[in-house]
Chain A
Amino acid sequence: MSGNVHVKEHPAPSRYEDLESFDTPCYLFNPATVISDYLKLKNALGTPLIVSLKANPNIDLFVRCAHIFEDGVELASLGELVLMSGRAGVPKIVNTPALDAQLLAATLASRNATVILDNPDQVDLLLSLKAPSKRVTVGLRLNACSFLDCVVKPAHEDHFGVDLESLCAMASRLQDADIDVSGIHVYGGPLTFENYGLPLAEKAPAIINEVTSATGKGIEFLNLGGGFSADWDVNSEYFRQYREAIEPLKKDVVLWHEAGRAIFRRGGSFFTKVLAVKRLNGRHVAICDGGMAQAFLLAQTENFLRRPSKPVLIPKEAEGRPSLDAPVVIAGSSCNRADIIGELTEGLTPKAGDILRFDDCGAYHTYSPVGFLNLKQSNFYIMS
């Protein structure tokens, strides 16, 4: 990642005395890092950049960054709308295939909101409410796989949105009810920018034309999603080609992009305390007070090939501590054999009371199983 944005970032603590007051397991979010990464991506794209709140819905972090998130936040549930209500002061884009009457009504009641309709039933729902408030802007979600079928990998196919034909029918129906379709949302899926960024940009004029023909009116915005990884590279040839491809579109519509992982991942660290260390089958096992219940992604249960995270060991006292003589498996607190969140292969041997810091955990920290064993939930800290 690169760019010319200067924001003073503060590194995550790495001395035990700076962490003694931390109530583990916990996350530390760094607003300066989040702001820096947001601005770098926005500047590199040269378009508005919507923040996907599902990637990090922590309110304390949001209030520290919201003055920068002026392009808006994407919300996918009533809970996320509640999080933002009264605080956001930025456009809210509600977008979920599970939109129900309660969420739609609350969205319609909100100021500066856009609702993205995923399917014809949601059009019916909107029309049934008979109150398509002037305050709400309506967009439609186009399924990316449906018109990129020549390039989409089966593993990337998803159920979001509809095909272009259905989308045009939805647009006509809304138009008949005197509701303008202001824009289209199309998204290739997480981490797919380098698969579908260019094909989407190249197909975009056709999408705009089809919808314009169906409604007899132009659209105002086109959200191309993003699917950016946290280590997207502004200097890559692909990124340069993408920038070139989207440039002509800007004269017809306001282009939006959207990101979560690329904005938040670097801006959060997960901390867990070592409760016990034992030797088992030629390796050490460090059992911690946090694990997959608080930082599910570290367990990598959804990955075909696991590459264990390597945390930073922050020893309570380092003096006289022997170096590792065998690998250490980092186990969480959930009594689940899959609750392995990392490993140590070098450095000091961990002891009970030590703290482990996992960096790059700022995105999707809430993507965790909750309720099992009634385990302690994470605490959250924010860097000043």
Chain B
Amino acid sequence: MISLDLASLEKAAAQIVQTKSAGVCLWGSLEESPFAGTPYKGILTTLPLRSVHEFAVASDVEKASTVPVRISAAQRYALLTEILAAARANMPNLSVMLVRLCGPDFQVQLPAELLAKDVLLTYDPYAMVPRLSRAGRKGILTVWQDLRVDRVDIGMNRVSVAVHDADSVPGFLKFVSASRTILSLSNVELVAPDHGVGAPAKERRQ
């Protein structure tokens, strides 16, 4: 675990950049809702099941998980939007933001911020990084998350943000120490980004 004050982050990042990687990656988990005490509108609907086969298939995709759903779909969008806004405000050389989203939440409108020209929504944000880096692109921010907003989501309520070149690190550190979403995370770690793999292999299998 690491403290999210700028001095601690700079010290840890310097070690990573010197010894392991050009970029840095911050991991954390959402242990409490940042919206605690605020009501949200219920929007979930049922699956359109009729035939026996459909019940069997729906049943097969159920997962017994003890990971709590802590936020709603709209709140997940709000957290991602805040992360992007904080990155824009603090990373002067930001060129593209690759954001993990596993599918639309059909009942909630996707915020315009997540459809901006410099944002790419993708299942695997890290997959694009080697190609973009080879093309000479810097200022790439990857935002990986497996925040659960429904029981059908598979995830552990984690958030990871990373930059992949040394020049982006100072702005990145300002960004993570300013983002309300990042500051709301627990068990925060600063590590080297795992190029070519993205999230650790065990997470990618989920």
Contacts and interface: CB of A to CB of B under 8 A. Distances in A.
Interface of A: 8, 10, 13, 22-23, 28-29, 58-64, 66-67, 70, 81-83, 85-90, 105-106, 108-113, 379-384
B204 interface: no
Nearest to A111: B59
Contacts of B150: 63, 87
Contacts of A88: 62, 151
A86 B65 contact: no
Given A13-B39, A106-B55, A382 B49 contact: no
B62 A381 contact: no
A86 B39 contact: no
Interface in B29-67: 33, 35-47, 49, 52-53, 55-56, 58-67
A89 B65 contact: yes
Nearest to A59: B44
Contact of B42 (A13, A61, A81, A89): A61
Given A106-B52, A109-B59, A383-B37, A67 B66 contact: yes
A81 B72 CA distance: 23
Contacts of A66: 69, 151
B171 to A, nearest CB: 31
Main secondary structure of the interface of B (DSSP, over half): loop
Leading 4 A-B pairs by shortest Cβ distance: A60-B42, A384-B35, A380-B42, A86-B58
Given A106-B52, A110-B55, A111-B62, A28 B39 contact: yes
A105 B59 CA distance: 13
A90 B151 CA distance: 11
B188 interface: no
30 contacts: A10-B37, A59-B42, A59-B46, A64-B68, A64-B69, A66-B69, A67-B69, A70-B66, A82-B47, A82-B49, A85-B46, A85-B49, A85-B59, A86-B61, A86-B62, A86-B151, A87-B62, A87-B151, A87-B152, A89-B62, A106-B55, A109-B53, A109-B56, A111-B60, A113-B59, A379-B41, A380-B42, A384-B36, A384-B39, A384-B72
B36 to A, nearest CB: 5
Contacts of B64: 70, 89-90
Nearest to B44: A59
A109 B149 CA distance: 26
Given A86-B49, A108-B52, A381-B42, 17 more contacts: A13-B39, A23-B41, A28-B39, A60-B72, A82-B47, A85-B47, A85-B58, A86-B59, A86-B151, A89-B63, A89-B65, A109-B55, A109-B56, A111-B62, A112-B59, A380-B41, A380-B42
A382 to B, nearest CB: 5
Nearest to B69: A63
B179 interface: no
Given A60-B43, A60-B72, A88-B62, A384 B38 contact: yes
A63 B107 CA distance: 16
B69 A8 contact: no
A63 B65 CA distance: 11
A213 to B, nearest CB: 35
A86 B47 contact: yes
A67 B67 contact: yes
